[in-house]
Structure 1
Amino acid sequence: MDLQLSGRVAVVTGASKGIGLAVARTLAEEGAHVVAASRTASAEWPGKVVHVAVDLMDPQAPAEVVARAVEEFGGLDILVNNAGGPPPGVTLPRAGFMTPDDADWGAMFEFNLFSLVRMIRAAVPIMVERGGGSIVNVSSTIARQPGAINVDYGAAKAAVNQVGKAVAEEFGPQGVRVNTVTPGPVLTDWWTKDGGAAEVFAGMVGSDRDSVITEVAPTMMKLTTGRLIHPQEVADAIVLLASPRSGSTTGADFAVDGGSLKEL
């Protein structure tokens, strides 16, 4: 299926690994001009990807990224707000409402919500000037399943969902579509790295890292598929929503969650 992405200009945040890397690579393979925003570069990007080295905790960074896309390619058609998760230097999961303090809450919202708001704020005028565009925000199932784990992260992602709906409603008549993709647990280095989520969970439940990844987490999170999600599976949904082939889809939330969300 031709996704009609050839020649379109896309910005992907958090593009150096995991879901963001898969999105950047897939967009480039589909013929899009890709601007990858991340603190570090990736050797796995196709050669034509343009890297902007930024820390999205810096309030000036989003405007810098969008300006680079305009400078390199003349505009912006697609924005994938993928950057999120633990702020730099933070390890998740974090158990209990009382655990994060004010600074933890502030950093979590700065990285997961405010950077996204600033990216949208920078992108929308350019898209409107070009007659439209597509924004895809990456959320999390924890936004829809509140609990005692990662409360601050879940609250930030719930706010992301609300912002996406609001922007879709306001700017849809001007041709800007905004959708959300909600992944469940994705097999990235958030889970697999030394000291990552798998090791933290293993310490909580008296297991080991590999068992958490293959058995404990899928069971605990009620994954119907019985396994963590591959980044490419999420990327494929994001790229389809970014494509003009999804031209009548806006304000929607697509779960790529292994079946963990059971409610209607």
Structure 2
Amino acid sequence: AEFDQNATTLIEAKDLSFTYPERQNRALENLNLTIQKGKKVAILGKTGSGKSTLLQLLVRNYDANQGELFLAGKPIADYAEDTLRSQFCFLTQRVHVFSDTLRQNLQFASAVNIPDEKMIEVLNQVGLGKLLEQEQGLDIWLGDGGRPLSGGEQRRLGLARILLNDAPILLLDEPTEGLDRETERQILRLILAHAENKTLIMVTHRLTAIEQFDELCVIDEAKLIEKGTYAELLQLEKGFFKQLVERV
């Protein structure tokens, strides 16, 4: 299927249910959700509540057991893999570091050639400027036989790839996990600026800068239990989100 660039309803889930292979409990149950093009959507919930599952289904790492998932008005299964890949930029919780140069590890984010200046600028923005202190610069070798990256550095490398990627839909799974509050604010600022003309779906269990998102979706025990703007969710008398905010 061709991707309709002009579709205003970008993602639509209808009665979507999914259980991971080898597991008993549903990861998503009867999810109904519509996401409009250009919106910034945060998916909130406790660890293990099923909030990352929607991202996995969107990139077709798995297919739903029940219900339907549409992208730009067409069933997601109708698209070729490379069509999906050109639409989505997906930051998973585990960032893969290739056994290659830093330059190649960043170039991987884009089909077109990224200028060195741009790579250097983004590395400094995400706090990886110190990797450039060696004389090899962008040719420093990472991964096997090269400089090992800590968990936090891997996460920042993933963020650098996001900022260098031009795909119109960003899917971010806990992008600021393990970062301190101040760094998290700075990184979210970069992400939101980069996503200004894109659609952003971010899974998180943290509440930093959450009021800057157009819509919040709260998932608990595989079900979508609350949906609305920050202000709307704070109005819900015994709301799950309201309790989260008041607990912080």
TM category (shorter chain) comes to 0.3 to 0.5
Query: Larger relative CO (CA 8 A, sep 6+): 1 or 2?
Result: 2
TM-score (norm 2): 0.32
TM-score (norm 1): 0.31
Which structure shows the bigger proportion of residues in strand conformation? 2
Larger Rg: 2
Which structure shows the bigger proportion of residues in helix conformation? 1
